[in-house]
Amino acid sequence: MNAHDTERLAGLLVADGMVPATSEDTADVIVLNTCTIRENADNKLYGTLGQLKSLKDLRPHLQIAVGGCMAQKDREEIIRRAGWVDVVFGTHNIASAPSLLRRSETEGPLVEVLDAPDPSVVADMAPALNAVRELPWAAWMTIQTGCNNSCAFCIVPAVRGEEISRPFDDLITEATMLAAQGVTEITVLGQNVNSYGRDLTKRRPLFAELLRAVGAVEGIERVRFTSPHPKDLRPETIAAMAETPAVCNQLHLPMQSGSNEILTAMRRGYTAERYLEKLAAARASIDDLAVTSDIIVGFPGETESQFEETLAVVAEAQFDSVYTFIFSPRPGTRAASMEDQFLTPEVISDRFKRLCAVVDRAGLLKHEARVGCVEEVLVEGPSRRAPEVISGRTRQGKLVHFQTPPGGLRAGSLAMATVTHGAPHHLLADYVSTVRGPKHKVRIPLLTS
């Protein structure tokens, strides 16, 4: 979500007449779009602001802005600790960033943080069409903001607000316009995509219908989504995934813990058994489904036996990969007040290593089982480590590397490749054929003399 907000911010600044700078040393404006899910993000912000102070001292005209979730949370604190910041704006008024930067040139430091979205917040998402995307053939599409859940560890509802769904027809229009720009892959974004539309209908979510409709847009070849909440994964969503060819056979389903006691303390709304039932239902209906998850290690009060329950459930689930996190207390959340139950860093470190070993073993087995399979790969470009190697993603979202074929392959192309080796976090393959070239337009700058 933050990465997409950053793309939108870049699009707004470009639309306001700015051009991307090549480095901080030459920039006139530096915008830090912040996250506050974990404490490390907070520390990183203030460390970065400290480094930028020397640039500000050398070039007083430099403008520094801080937006995003931490700006929503800390507000005046940022100006107090870093008085050289010119603008602070929150998650509900991203569209105001350009005007705030202009005003600060004459008015001085400005803080504008809305406590709740005003009626224009949904319309403010429209500039996503003009976002400066890292991959021109792939786009994120925000379908809702905020979250109505109350997970004990999560600060998102406090900084993003309550769930607000964008109008259904607006989303289909956006998907159609993205396809016209040459976008072939859309990732649908929401804090809990399963509940999309419940506030519109006042009765039931519309997420399954949305998946089918986006998947039916001409030119859109792949549809992904993140993140669903396990308690809200409904049969109609599983059916839409299974029956809509464009929807990828990939499901990110955050489990967080395999202990029912910890899940209750986390206020997750499901048991480990119920989670595994929904996972089994998805795998039974969707061919060749890849499943990823989130796990938190060291939630306050977690005992060794409860952690071992998590290891057992993770081993049974056989995830393709897992994002593993160490518990980070966020001010204002229920879990942050459980200080007397915090675990020691030594215990957490040991458990984290043990969990990663189980996760990597499952991932390796999943990838080794794909050796010999012919995969459809959406090419992302040359590998960062080896320019002679092409990297891309399968429909399951798996990273694939293969030797560049004669004549090369442009980013955004579709190719077929046979898997030759499986590692815990990627696949190696042999190029077979090119399905098609890229559909997006390449912008060539015009030079004038």
Residues 6+ apart with CB under 8 A from 426: 367, 398, 399, 400, 401
- What are the pLDDT digits (tens) for 71-111? 998 888 999 999 999 999 998 888 899 999 999 999 999 99
Q: Which of 13-17, 36-40, 123-127, 188-192 has the lowest mean pLDDT?
A: 123-127
Is the distance from CB of 49 to CB of 15 less than 8 angstroms? no
CB atoms near residue 15 (< 10 Å): 12
pLDDT given at position 417: 98
User: What DSSP line would sit under 210-229, residue for residue?
Assistant: HHHHHHTSTT--EEEEE---
Would the pLDDT of 161 be above 70?
yes
pLDDT given at position 76: 85
The distance in angstroms from the start CA to the end CA of the chain is 41
pLDDT given at position 292: 98
Secondary structure (3-state) at 419: strand
Average pLDDT, rounded, for the chain: 93
- Report all structural domains of the chain as residue ranges with CATH numbers, in order of start: 2-112 (3.40.50), 133-248 (3.30.750.210), 251-369 (3.30.750.200), 374-436 (2.40.50.140)
- What are the pLDDT digits (tens) for 222-261? 999 999 999 999 999 999 999 999 999 999 999 999 999 9
Report the percent of the chain where pLDDT is more than 90: 81
Would the pLDDT of 449 be above 50?
no
- What are the pLDDT digits (tens) for 28-65? 999 999 988 777 777 889 999 999 999 999 999 999 99
C-alpha triplet 377, 383, 387: angle, nearest 5°: 120
Residues 6+ apart with CB under 8 A from 214: 141, 171, 172, 175, 186, 188, 220, 223, 246
Is the distance from CB of 141 to CB of 189 less than 8 angstroms? yes
Residues 6+ apart with CB under 8 A from 261: 306
Secondary structure (3-state) at 170: helix
- Of 96, 250, 232, which Cα lies nearest the Cα of 163? 232
Would the pLDDT of 115 be above 90?
no
141 alpha-carbon distance from chain centroid? 11
pLDDT given at position 87: 96
374-382 and 110-112: which strand pairing? unpaired
Phi, psi (rounded to 5 degrees) for 18:
-90, 165
- What are the pLDDT digits (tens) for 395-432? 999 999 999 999 999 999 999 999 999 999 999 999 99
CB-hemisphere CA count at 13 Å for 54? Answer: 6
Where would I find the beta strands (DSSP E) of 36-91? Answer: 63-68, 87-89
Q: Which of 144-153, 278-287, 313-322 has the lowest mean pLDDT?
A: 144-153
Task: For residue 442, name the pLDDT band (cuts at 50, 70, 90).
Answer: low
Would the pLDDT of 131 be above 90?
no
Would the pLDDT of 134 be above 90?
no
pLDDT given at position 179: 96
| CA torsion, ordered 142, 147, 151, 152, to nearest 10 deg | 110
Distances (CA, A) of 215 to 10, 172, 176, 186, 229: 27, 10, 10, 9, 21
C-alpha triplet 174, 177, 179: angle, nearest 5°: 110
pLDDT given at position 66: 96
The tokens of 179 are what? Answer: 């396809």
Looking at residue 195, what DSSP letter applies? Answer: G
Distance CA 5, CA 280 (A): 34
Looking at residue 140, what DSSP letter applies? Answer: E
11 by Cβ neighbours in 10 Å (0-12 / 13-18 / 19+) ranks as middle
Would the pLDDT of 160 be above 90?
no
